[in-house]
Amino acid sequence: MLLKCAAVLGSPSPFAQCVVFGWCLSSRELWAASQGPCVLCSDHYLLSGQLDMEGALTARDRVGIQDFVLLDETTEAAFLTNLKKRFSKDLIYTYVGTLIVSVNPYKELDIYNKKQMDTYMGVNFFELPPHIYALADNAYHTMLTEFNNHFILISGESGAGKTEASKKILQYYAVSCPSTTLLNTVRDKMLMSNPVLEAFGNAKTLKNDNSSRFGKYMDIQFNSEGDAVGGHILNYLLEKSRVVHQNHGERNFHIFYQLVEGGADDLLRQLGLERDVQHYNYLTQGECAIVSSINDRNDWKTVKNALQVINFDEINTNHLFGIVASVLHLGNIQFDSDSKASIYTHLMLFSSQLLGVDAQSLQEGLTFRKIEARKDQVLTPFTIDHAIYARDALAKAIYGQTFTWLVNRINESMENKDPSRKTVIGLLDIYGFEVFYVNSFEQFCINYCNEKLQQLFIQLTLKAEQDEYEAENIEWEPVQFFNNKIICDLVEEKHRGIISILDEECLRPGDATDLTFLERLEDKMGNHPHFVTHKLADKMTRKTLERGDFRLLHYAGEVTYCVLMCQSKNAIVKECFSTMDPDSRKRPETVATHFKSSLLKLTEILMAKEAWYIRCLKSNESKQPGQFDEALIRHQVKYLGLMEHLRVRRAGFAYRRKFDVFLKRYKPLCPATWPHWRGEPADGVEVLVQHLGYLPHEYKMGRTKIFIRHPRTLYATEDAYEKCKHELATRLQAKYKGYRAKGEFKKQKEAATKIETCWRGVQARKEKEKRAWAVKVIKKFIKGYMTRGQAKTTDNSEYLAFVRQSYLNRLKEKLPKTVLDKTTWLTPPVVLQETSEILRKLHYRLMVRKYVRGITPQKKAQLQLKATASSIFKGQKDSYPQSVAQPFVDTRISKCHIYSCSLTVLCSVFLQYSVPVIKYDRNGFKPRPRQLILTQTAAYVIEEAKIKQRVLYTSLKGISVSNLTDDIIVFHITCEDPKQKGDLVMQCNHLFEFLTKLSVIIEIQAGKESAVDFTTGQEPMVYKAKNGHLMVVS
């Protein structure tokens, strides 16, 4: 599982973090479980199957439970322990259902970056660890899908982190919503309205260095595509008294310090200001003008820049700062005993100049009371106190009006004029509940506002819960909780509430004072359990109350308000009147009534929307990181009604889910519901829970939801799911891989078929072309063939050309290889008969020529001898044809084999040829092997060392051979010479060679027959016949 993700949230145990993400898995996680990168940090990889649910539960406990609804006990102690556990690990957000409890960490946490925003975008609420982004994202997506309006109520006491939370949400929308250049401009304006409003509306208080001193409700408008297209701000009751008075340790509004510290020298000169905050009465009453946590110079730059973004031109900006400066100048105006502002008249001049009014009138206004009596105006001088009073009232009025003007200008710049329907998400960041040592009229308003919002919260949450049980037909036992309606009524009830009495007192003729007001209150509220005064209190309480005080027991604690302070505040009431049309006869509205009705309007606005809640808790009073002040937090948990809310959420049933959602998640746990349940989701859930073995008291089936009584039942189911999930993931993975592979295969197959088809098409087209061409050629050929004998036409000339070419090509392959081959010449077509004959002759001549050229002198001599042999024997002797192929040699007996004796004799004679022969005796024809040697002049018959006979060619009458196949040669010798032995009969195996050689020496011609008889027989033999002739059988 998400093994390394610990790195993301910096937990010491990777295990723990895995669980944070691991225990509420969804389809998205199934994907993740297939070893994708970690959902929070792309650097780390998921290792599936390393955690089981048991481990997960332990690890989950280590960082507490991320949804209080799943706490086993609903005690305050368990609640606080869980909160503390998580806070100690910097896990500042925890859910109570869809409500977020946020504890101010008083330190920068790295959980608001872009990566985190991306992580939470479009993810279901419970899929990731609690985060303000999860709430923002879910509100946004619900708005888009249901196309309705929402608001996020951020509540908590001063310094609990409300403003920060609202800024984080705004930033989230700025990043996560679709963006275009146009939308970005709107987005920038919305974002930049913040520093401007904070500069003019926030101040350092004892509770918070950047405390919002006005209430703010901001609507972000979205079109149907979810683009943030515009915004609108409603502001509530700016704490104007701060302009003229700050408690010890507090400051005036930031803008004054920013201007004096950061304004350019030129600007200060123009405005007549000095760069020294200590110089101004209005900035130094709290004696902490310079605070280390605030950098006024930097903030000044931010504000200047922001003003540009929200389209403030230079003139307006100058006017704006002119007013701020004029207030500072007013603050420094002193009055002398006759209440003339004579000492600092130059200040008066500066103020009037900056405010664009007549200095004389300003001075008169501040120092004289104007009484109108029957059309006459009487001016009576003020006392010093009154003059100071008038000065401060003016300063507050100017600042207050300017603030309203500023909000209007910002609204103008963020306004979207497109009339198409839009949905909104409202962000309510209103001042938190406040208790100071001295609590003024404004604190009264602020705390009243908080009472109203608490009332709204109670109504909405309880109502929603009750509606749900009712709608689902589930029995419902009301949870006991403190309903602060009683306090709201105490303040706002018509004719009986504090505001009504204040109104009456302010407007009643006669001498109304603060004390008469208090008396009236005591009269009316005498026995109200949440109202105490000095007079009404018991002994103990009385000690803690001044005579001019009244105390309200608010839902969040007791607050003592000082009516004497109201005296100084009466001017606010008056000032408010002064803004009314002087001619109007209508009874003017007091500030309190105005505030009451604006709160009523706000309630109406909010009631028409779907609510999301962020409950901010302050971790400690000293603004220190890492400090978890248990008592302080317990108090907040108590008055914010968190325990009640939790109990209501869990009343009877800790968990509920829509049938289809429940079935979708857990259906793998039951074979009957996996992978698909075909029937009604409710029936499927019933089958599923039966299979899981839920006992009847553990769950209830509503109309659309299943309600599970104990968290442990859900845990058990979740555990089972966790176990089966890995197996499931593998199966899904396998299926998916199979599906992908199949798809891929199909794609490839289709592609192959396509290519095949194309290729076949190409081939077929080629084939077709070839065939068409062939048909044409064949047609032509046939036509050419048919007209081959006719006059020349294109067809037949082509045909004939083809015939010629084809014949010549074939002829080329089949040419006779030898001169002797007279038969293989290819029969020519008619048109080529003549040519063929020429070619044939040429070819034979060529072959002959080649042959002749290739003959060596030896071969030539050989051939000549063969030719001679031919001329002698061809057709004369039967064995001649066989001898043709046998080549003649120069001699048959090498010199070394010739009997040496004869050699010496014969050496003088030129040796022509020698051959072994068998000589037959003349008498008896006895065969005797002899060597026959031919010389130029004679033939010698030699026997070993002896020349047996010499036959001179001159004495040779003739030579006989038979016409048969024998080898007998007869030398006919003239017998005139008695020394001569007569005819020589021999057998020689090389008859033709011998005789041819001899014929070269002497001329031999065919002559008559000799006394040798030749016959054919079965066996060749030679013997003397009866007639005395030599009988040769061959």
Active site residues: 158-159, 163, 208, 211-212, 432, 434
Residue from 25, 153, 160, 573 in contact with ligand ADP (CB under 6 A): 160
| Selected range binding Mg ion among 26-34, 156-164, 356-364, 770-778, rule: CB under 5 A | 156-164
Cβ 557 to ligand ADP, closest distance in Å?
16
Cβ 116 to ligand ADP, closest distance in Å?
12
| Selected range binding Mg ion among 163-171, 368-376, 899-907, 953-961, rule: CB under 5 A | 163-171
HSE-up of residue 932 (Cα within 13 Å, Cβ side): 26
Is residue 158 close enough to count as binding ligand ADP by CB under 6 A?
A: yes
Residue from 215, 432, 681, 828 in contact with ligand ADP (CB under 6 A): 432
Residues sharing a CB contact under 8 Å with residue 1010, sequence separation 6 or more, in sequence order: 958, 960, 970, 972, 983
**Nearest to 453, CA basis, from 435, 431, 468:** 431
**Nearest to 501, CA basis, from 531, 522, 530:** 522
| Selected range binding ligand ADP among 114-122, 160-168, 572-580, 927-935, rule: CB under 6 A | 160-168
The sheet with strand 557-562 has its strands ordered as 531-533, 549-554, 557-562
Q: What is the 3-state secondary structure (H, E, C) of 560-620?
A: EEEHHHHHHHHHHHHHHHHCCCCCCCCCCCCHHHHHHHHHHHHHHHHHCCEEEEEEEECCC
As a whole number of Å, the end-to-end CA separation of the chain is 115
415 backbone φψ class: left, alpha, beta (φ>0; ψ -120 to 50): beta
Residue from 116, 138, 163, 593 in contact with Mg ion (CB under 5 A): 163
Instruction: State the burial class of residue 819 (Cβ atoms within 10 Å of its Cβ: 0-12, 13-18, 19+).
Output: middle
Cβ 254 to ligand ADP, closest distance in Å?
12
- Which residues sit opposite 940 in a β-bridge? 933, 950
HSE-up of residue 264 (Cα within 13 Å, Cβ side): 6
- Residue 443 site contact among ligand ADP, Mg ion, none (CB < 5 to 8 Å, cut-off depends on kind): none
Please indicate if the annotation marks 156 as binding a ligand: yes
Cβ 203 to Mg ion, closest distance in Å?
11
CA gap 53, 716 in Å, rounded:
9
What's the full length of the chain, in residues? Answer: 1034
Instruction: Tell me whether residue 108 or residue 225 sits nearer to ligand ADP (CB atom).
Output: 108
CA gap 698, 708 in Å, rounded:
6
Instruction: State the burial class of residue 26 (Cβ atoms within 10 Å of its Cβ: 0-12, 13-18, 19+).
Output: middle
Instruction: Tell me whether residue 97 or residue 432 sits nearer to ligand ADP (CB atom).
Output: 432
Residue numbers 600-619 binding ligand ADP by CB under 6 A: 616
Please indicate if the annotation marks 36 as binding a ligand: no
Q: Which residue has the tokens 């907040």?
A: 636
* String of contacts with Mg ion for each residue 193-222, x by CB under 5 A: -------------------x----------
Number of residues in contact with ligand ADP under rule CB under 6 A: 21
Instruction: Tell me whether residue 432 or residue 784 sits nearer to ligand ADP (CB atom).
Output: 432
Q: 3-state DSSP call for residue 912?
A: strand
The tokens of 765 are what? Answer: 């087209």
Instruction: Tell me whether residue 447 or residue 796 sits nearer to Mg ion (CB atom).
Output: 447
Cβ 440 to ligand ADP, closest distance in Å?
18
Is residue 129 close enough to count as binding ligand ADP by CB under 6 A?
A: no
CA–chain centroid gap for 192, Å, is 32
Instruction: Tell me whether residue 208 or residue 914 sits nearer to ligand ADP (CB atom).
Output: 208
Is residue 163 close enough to count as binding ligand ADP by CB under 6 A?
A: yes
Cβ 89 to ligand ADP, closest distance in Å?
15
Instruction: Tell me whether residue 109 or residue 801 sits nearer to ligand ADP (CB atom).
Output: 109
| Selected range binding ligand ADP among 153-161, 573-581, 688-696, 943-951, rule: CB under 6 A | 153-161
- Residue 397 site contact among Mg ion, ligand ADP, none (CB < 5 to 8 Å, cut-off depends on kind): none
Is residue 256 within 8 Å of residue 328, measured between CB atoms? Answer: yes
Residue 559 sits at φ, ψ, to 5 deg, of -135, 130
Please indicate if the annotation marks 158 as binding a ligand: yes
* String of contacts with ligand ADP for each residue 204-233, x by CB under 6 A: ----xxxxx---------------------
Instruction: Tell me whether residue 113 or residue 824 sits nearer to ligand ADP (CB atom).
Output: 113
Please indicate if the annotation marks 78 as binding a ligand: no
Is residue 259 within 8 Å of residue 324, measured between CB atoms? Answer: yes
Distances (CA, A) of 305 to 189, 295, 604, 1000: 11, 16, 36, 137
Number of residues in contact with Mg ion under rule CB under 5 A: 3
* String of contacts with ligand ADP for each residue 172-211, x by CB under 6 A: ------------------------------------xxxx
CA gap 37, 793 in Å, rounded:
84
Cβ 42 to ligand ADP, closest distance in Å?
25
Residue 817 sits at φ, ψ, to 5 deg, of -90, -25
Is residue 447 close enough to count as binding ligand ADP by CB under 6 A?
A: no
Residue numbers 691-730 binding ligand ADP by CB under 6 A: none
Q: 3-state DSSP call for residue 257?
A: helix
**Nearest to 521, CA basis, from 502, 493, 546:** 502
Residue from 60, 131, 150, 162 in contact with ligand ADP (CB under 6 A): 162
* String of contacts with ligand ADP for each residue 101-120, x by CB under 6 A: ---xxxxxx-----------
Instruction: Tell me whether residue 628 or residue 953 sits nearer to ligand ADP (CB atom).
Output: 628
- Residue 641 site contact among ligand ADP, Mg ion, none (CB < 5 to 8 Å, cut-off depends on kind): none
Is residue 326 close enough to count as binding ligand ADP by CB under 6 A?
A: no
Instruction: Tell me whether residue 11 or residue 205 sits nearer to Mg ion (CB atom).
Output: 205
- The DSSP 8-state label assigned to residue 439 in this structure reads B
Cβ 272 to ligand ADP, closest distance in Å?
33
- Which residues sit opposite 612 in a β-bridge? 152
The tokens of 407 are what? Answer: 């909000």
Q: Which residue is nearest to ligand ADP (CB)?
A: 161
Residue 781 neighbours by CB distance under 10 Å: 16
Instruction: State the burial class of residue 188 (Cβ atoms within 10 Å of its Cβ: 0-12, 13-18, 19+).
Output: middle
Instruction: Tell me whether residue 149 or residue 302 sits nearer to ligand ADP (CB atom).
Output: 302
Instruction: Tell me whether residue 107 or residue 269 sits nearer to ligand ADP (CB atom).
Output: 107
Is residue 231 within 8 Å of residue 282, measured between CB atoms? Answer: no
Cβ 605 to ligand ADP, closest distance in Å?
20
Cβ 166 to ligand ADP, closest distance in Å?
8
Distances (CA, A) of 596 to 448, 451, 978, 987: 9, 12, 187, 165
Please indicate if the annotation marks 417 as binding a ligand: no
Amino acid at 747: K
- Residue 681 site contact among Mg ion, ligand ADP, none (CB < 5 to 8 Å, cut-off depends on kind): none
Is residue 888 within 8 Å of residue 865, measured between CB atoms? Answer: yes
Please indicate if the annotation marks 157 as binding a ligand: yes
Q: What is the DSSP string of 806-830?
A: HHHHHHHHT--SSTT--S-PPPPPG
Binding stretches for ligand ADP (CB under 6 A): 104-109, 156, 158-164, 208-212, 432, 616
Annotated binding site for ATP: 156-163
The residues binding Mg ion (CB under 5 A) are 162-163, 212
